[in-house]
Amino acid sequence: MTIDQDTARFVQAALPWVTSIATTVLAAIAIIATRRNAKETVASQLSQRMWDKRADVYREILYWTQVQDPGRRPTSKGFKERSDGADGTLLLAFDTDSEEWHRFECGVEAYSSDDIYRLFMLWQSTLTAWAWQMTKAVIHQPPSEYHGKAERELAECYKTTHSARELLAEQIRAELRFEKRKPPRITIQAHRLFGVRRIEVNRDPVTLLAEQIERRIGTLTNKHSESEGAQADATTRPNPCAPSNEPQDPDAAGRHI
């Protein structure tokens, strides 16, 4: 009985201390959990803002690489005719020394991934090579003996710039779909001052096979959808083989839509 009474008195005396310690521990745990949740919330918000900025920059990249497409510019003969005029003309569609272009480049450098930034710099270098070759082609107009060589080198630069833009667009689309895709190995032929004139894409056989399978599945899916649509509209679609009373357009064969 004496031991039980002593134990009861000890528990009774220690209970307020135990309660106080437990309350302190629970409060500390709650504070730590709250701070951790707040930190995770802030990190999530920053990550979302960063992703939104990156997506905006990727759209800008696709827009400006399309605007600066050399295929939309005049031929060397057209540039020659314009340069003979009073006003002349710029080689590129948009001035790359302008403040707007520099701001765009800063956005690409700040928000794009390393792979996208390297591919963007590659595309810019191919654009530099095209501008240089176009200048040579404009100078060596007929009857210059170098005209043929200049035009062949210019045609190669057109293909190179187009290939670099396609590589850049493919990588952007992959990242926007949250795909873990590394760019293929690229071999370049470049001049120290006049940019990249030629690129060779060395795709990994496994990656190439996966892309072929994906394209094949997409083709079969589209054909299946078209087949179902054709069956559904069979009763309402006119027969394309039936004779038509409408007059035939004699120039229709030469048009491309």
- Tell me how many domains the chain contains: 1
Residues 29-48 have a mean pLDDT of 73
What lies within 8 Å, CB to CB, of 126 at 6+ separation is 157, 160, 161, 163, 164, 195, 196, 197, 199
Q: Is residue 182 part of a domain?
A: yes
Residue 41's pLDDT band, with cuts at 50, 70 and 90, is low
pTM: 0.65
Domain span at 141:
50-76+94-230
Q: Is residue 89 part of a domain?
A: no
Return the pLDDT at 236: 46
Q: Is residue 104 part of a domain?
A: yes
Q: Is residue 165 part of a domain?
A: yes
Return the pLDDT at 98: 94
Residue 199 has phi, psi (to 5 degrees) of -130, 145
| 103-142 tens-digit pLDDT | 999 999 999 999 999 999 999 999 999 999 999 999 999 9
Q: Is residue 19 part of a domain?
A: no
Return the pLDDT at 219: 67
For the chain, how big is the Rg over CA atoms in Å? 33
Q: Is residue 123 part of a domain?
A: yes
Q: Is residue 153 part of a domain?
A: yes
